[in-house]
């Protein structure tokens, strides 16, 4: 009888595949490369650039704002330096106590004690001269102008024979866009320029005299010196057809 074959229990030797050998060699090569191979070149690091344009623009804005604020402060200081709190602070200003109260309304011409007048009987309502920053190029009827003074207006007048051109423009600029003021020539005025409110008057020689602005700012619609505070200064009909003062020859 044939003998049973004894199974071969010894483990078979594995033959390394070419791929496995290559992997091992690669692994060994990797280790060798880690020790003695070439290293990677350092990455290029780009330093962040400063936004000089934005910085310059911001600085320019700050400088401009500072200049504007400085200019505004200077203007306010100059304005306050020229401001007064009472008529006594304006050199040459005259006060007439006789006109502390409202006066009569009359249809007839009035022989006023002052020229230009600063108070007294005057034209009846609604015939006051418009005083909403109004510039007249005629000698408006004095009785109508006095009624405006009673309402708190400041009336700037000038002798047309002595004050002309740019000086007239300067005076008109004091009235324009200022409700409560009006400007007109005044024939026969005994000084180049006279500014008046109810019961107060100042006469000067120059259109650039700073006292004119002081007077206008202080006295315009000043309830302390106005017989009828809050009364209207509007009269569009008078602007359209201003009543003209009659000369003595007429």
**pLDDT tens digit sequence for 19-30:** 444 444 444 444
What global pTM score does this model have? 0.69
Q: Longest Cα pair distance anywhere in the chain, in angstroms?
A: 177
Q: Which pair of structure tokens corresponds to residue 172?
A: 């008109």
Closest CA to 205 of 150, 144, 159: 159
Which residues does residue 95 pair with via DSSP β-bridges, in sequence order? 200
Q: Which pair of structure tokens corresponds to residue 22?
A: 């290559």
84 band by pLDDT with thresholds 50, 70 and 90: very high
In the 8-state DSSP scheme, what is residue 8?
A: -
State residue 69's pLDDT score: 82
* Residue 116 burial by Cβ neighbours in a 10 Å radius (0-12, 13-18, 19+): buried
**Total count of residues recorded for the chain:** 250
Average pLDDT score over residue span 50-74: 77
Identify the CATH assignment for 92-240 out of 3.30.1240, 3.30.70, 3.40.30, 3.30.1380. 3.40.30
- Average pLDDT, whole number, for the chain? 84
The backbone region for 176, taken as left when phi is positive above 0, alpha when psi lies in -120 to 50, beta otherwise, is beta
A 10 A CB-CB count for 231 gives 17
32 band by pLDDT with thresholds 50, 70 and 90: very low
Does 41 or 113 have the greater pLDDT score?
Answer: 113
d(CA 131, CA 181): 5
């Amino acid at each position: 009888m044939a003998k049973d074959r004894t199974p071969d229990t010894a483990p078979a030797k594995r033959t390394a595949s070419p791929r496995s050998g290559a992997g091992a060699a690669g692994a060994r090569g990797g280790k060798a490369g880690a020790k003695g191979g070439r290293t990677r070149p350092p990455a290029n690091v780009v330093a962040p650039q400063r936004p000089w344009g934005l910085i310059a623009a911001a600085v320019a804005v700050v400088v401009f704002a500072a200049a504007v604020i400085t200019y505004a402060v200077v203007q306010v200081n100059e304005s306050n330096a020229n401001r007064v709190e009472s008529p006594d602070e304006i050199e040459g200003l005259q006060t007439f106590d006789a006109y502390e109260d409202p006066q009569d309304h009359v249809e007839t011409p009035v022989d006023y004690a002052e020229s230009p007048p600063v108070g007294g009987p005057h034209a009846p309502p609604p015939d006051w001269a418009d005083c909403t920053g109004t510039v007249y190029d005629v000698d408006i009827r004095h009785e109508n102008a006095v009624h405006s003074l009673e309402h708190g207006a400041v009336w700037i007048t000038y002798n047309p024979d002595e004050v002309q051109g740019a000086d007239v423009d300067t005076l008109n600029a004091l009235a324009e866009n200022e409700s409560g003021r009006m400007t007109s020539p005044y024939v026969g005025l005994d000084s180049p320029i006279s500014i008046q409110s109810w019961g107060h008057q100042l006469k000067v020689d120059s259109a650039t005299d700073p006292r004119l602005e002081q007077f206008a700012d202080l006295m315009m619609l000043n309830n302390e010196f106005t017989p009828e505070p809050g009364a209207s200064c509007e009269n569009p009909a008078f602007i359209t057809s201003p009543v003209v003062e009659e000369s003595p020859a007429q």
